[in-house]
Structure 1
Amino acid sequence: MNLYRSVRTVAGASGPDAIDWESAADAARAGTDPGSLDLSEAERQGYARDVREARAAVRSVSGVDFEVPDAVEIQNRHHWIDANVETFERVMGTLEPHTDDFPGIARTINTGTMTILLAYLGRNVLGQYDPLLLADSPDADHALYFVHPNICAAADALEVDRERFRRWIAFHEVTHAAEFGAAPWLSTHLEDRMEDGIATLSTGRFDREAFRDLDAAMTVVEGYAELLMDHAFDDEYADLRRKLDERRQGRGPLQRTFRRLLGLGLKQRQYERGKHFFERVVAVRDLETASLVWEGPAYLPTHDELDSPGLWLRRVDR
């Protein structure tokens, strides 16, 4: 880790765009310890086994025939930064045409902000199912990542068994693969809502409805994943979730503020709200009824229906 190099790289940000993406990635790597990828053969086989068994279990409980990506990547923190800087650039790229004459100081500030974001997430992301939103090719493969140094560090900090913790992360990410497998239209729906929202931001307006729709869809994604976890994971995991939440809440005020600025608090709210919605739907009906959300965009619950599942059931239940 070289903080001096990181600062120097940000200070040298250049180019015509709002963010110098190459400098942001270089600086994030310079300011982040990559972590060890010195895995034993048993650990490598463990990742493959966890994903394979998670796929079988989730298929069994969901009734969805889906595949996980052919290449399941075990990454260090630098690998994650490299893989995701392209995603951020694709998403933020819709803003670029409106910034043809961008002041150098503003570019430096934006590049520094992106550097901090990439470095923070690179040190904290455990696993990721990436549907490659806004990819150049509509046929781009999805991706499944595990950031091994972060999984080991989190398991040790939480004082839980590494293998059990790793398996829990694998099951959670595979549930996301099942969602996108059940709903081939989901990627396009999320892309459209994201592009609508960002496009209006670039003109100085805020499309509240687009972001509400995006938030509702992501709440369904997070909540349904937890529903499948409840049925598919072959061990108790309430203690893992509780310890992880307590660790996040127990961080210092600066880290908590940073999590809020990054929207990570929003993700927690989406998980809780979505989980509550699906628990109530299953209690009244069953898992098959809950899976109607993947029939098409019209079947997604609205914001009001997320808080009143009965309204959604009356609208869509057959």
Structure 2
Amino acid sequence: MSIYRSVRAVTGASGDGPVDWGAVTDAARASTDPGDIEMDAAEQRGYAEDVADARDRVREVTALEFDLPDRVEVMNRHHWLDANVGTFERVMDPIEQQAEVMPGFARVINTGSMAFALSFLSNHVLGQYDPLLLADSEAHALYFVRPNIRRVAEMLDAEYDRFRRWIAFHEITHAAEFGAAPWLPDHLESTMMEAVETLSTGSIDRESLGELDTTMTAVEGYAELIMDEAFDDEYADLRRKLDQRRQGRSPIEQLIRRLLGLSVKRRQYERGKKFFDSVVQARDIETAGRVWESPEMLPTDAEFDDPQAWLARIDRL
């Protein structure tokens, strides 16, 4: 890890666009400790068994048909950076296409901001289900960032194998959602691009941003619901320890997480879980799964606060 090499990569940003993505990658990698990825045979087998067990259990609980992602990778932080820089670049492309030739200092600032954001995320992501949005591929991937999982398990004083298994179950619930809803990647892509393209003109598309938020609230909330039913162990202690860790973050880290939108993700977890708990209490888990039948079945923003209104609407469909 070298802050000097990171700064040199940022200040050397070149090209005509607002971001030099090659420099973003170099700077983020230089400022990020990759972490250890050496595993013995038992640990490698543990990851594979966790994923397979999660798939079987989630299928049993939800009755949803889905396959495992095309790629399941245990990676270090540099591997995660390499896998995600392309996603950020694809999302930013409409803005870059609209941008005029950038003065050098603006490119340096933009490049540094993106490198900082990706470096921060690479140090905090535990697992990631990646539908590879906006890529020229229909493949999906599942990533486990081993150094972060080991570090957080130690910080929480949690058994590593159990914590790793918990992460695997959570990410497999996302695989189930996208497997049950083949329309979901296109829906997310189109909504995201509408918002980004409007942003590239200097305006904010609040309707698209709102739709993106409600979609992700459904994705995260349903995953939380299924975790309650599928995970083969009690995990209230893990959730409590994670919540305590969040509350103990420094003001600077809390600010960074807000700027990166991570506090919004937590709200999506909580709001979505409350909605789906109410649906299951009123009906059953199969009814909750109807949200993946089509985009029209997604709850609206108002319906997340009124599950009975959503139930009444889908009964009419």
TM range (shorter): over 0.9
Return the match for 2:200 from 180, 199, 202: 202
1:1-318 pair list within 5 angstroms: 1-135=1-135, 137=136, 139-317=137-315
Provide the TM-score with structure 1 as the length reference: 0.98
- The alpha carbon displacement at 1:65 in A equals 1.3
- Name the SS of the counterpart of 2:249 in structure 1: coil
Q: Displacement, 1:239?
A: 1.4
User: What amino acid sits opposite 1:235 in the alignment?
Assistant: D
**One-letter code aligned to 1:142:** H
CA separation in 2, counterparts of 1:242 and 1:211? 31
Does the 8 Å CA contact 1:289/1:317 hold for their aligned counterparts?
no
Please state how far the C-alpha of 1:100 moved relative to its aligned partner. Answer: 3.0
Residue 16 of structure 1 and its aligned partner are, at CA, apart by 1.0
Find the aligned partners of 2:153 and 2:105 in 1 and give their Cα distance. Answer: 41
Q: 1:315 aligns to what SS in structure 2?
A: helix
Q: List runs of 5+ in structure 1 lacking aligned partners.
A: none
Q: Deviations over 1:184-238 (max 9, x none)?
A: 0000001011001011000011111100000000000000001111111000112
User: Structure 2 counterpart of 1:310, which letter?
Assistant: Q
* Residue 246 (structure 1) shift: 1.6
Tell me if structure 1 keeps the 8 A contact 2:303–2:310. Answer: yes
* Bigger shift: residues 213-222 or 286-295: 286-295
CA distance in 1: counterparts of 2:242 and 2:111, whole angstroms? 30
Secondary structure in 2 aligned to 1:124? coil
Runs of 4+ deviating beyond 6 Å: none
Measured after TM superposition, the shift of residue 38 of structure 1 is 1.1
Q: What SS class does the counterpart of residue 123 from structure 2 fall into?
A: helix
**In structure 2, what residue type is equivalent to 1:158?**
L
Aligned-partner Cα distance in 1 for 2:9–2:48: 37
Query: What is the rounded CA distance, in whole Å, between the counterparts of 1:148 and 1:205 in structure 2?
Result: 40
Please give the alpha-carbon distance, in whole angstroms, between the structure 1 residues aligned to 2:163 and 2:236: 12
- Give the TM-score normalised by the residue count of structure 2: 0.98
Letter in 2 for 1:114: M
**CA–CA distance in 2 between the matches of 1:288 and 1:148?**
34
Contact 2:220 2:269 (C-alpha < 8 Å) held by counterparts? yes
- State whether residues 71 and 140 of structure 2, in contact with CA within 8 Å, keep that contact through their aligned partners in structure 1: no
Q: Which amino acid aligns with 1:251?
A: R
SS in 2 for 1:14: coil
Cα distance in 2 for residues equivalent to 1:70 and 1:10: 34
> Which amino acid is the alignment partner of residue 109 of structure 1?
I
* Counterparts of 2:103 and 2:214, CA distance in 1: 36
Aligned-CA RMSD value: 0.8
Q: How far 1:241 moved relative to its partner?
A: 1.6
Q: Is the 8 A contact 1:94 1:199 kept in 2?
A: yes
Q: In 2, Cα distance between the equivalents of 1:47 and 1:100?
A: 47
Answer with 95-104 or 161-170: which moved more.
95-104
- Using the alignment, how far apart are the partners of 1:237 and 1:21 within structure 2? 40
How many residues get paired? 316
Residue type of the alignment partner of 2:142 = L
Inter-partner Cα distance in structure 1 for 2:188 and 2:98: 23
> Which 5+ residue runs of structure 2 have no aligned equivalent?
none
Give the deviation of 1:245 after TM superposition.
2.1
Q: 8 Å contact 2:54–2:172 — kept in the other structure?
A: yes
> Is the CA contact 2:173–2:227 (under 8 Å) kept in the aligned structure 1?
yes
| Rounded Cα–Cα distance in structure 2 between residues aligned with 1:181 and 1:74 | 21
Q: Distance in 2 between matches of 1:278 and 1:140?
A: 29
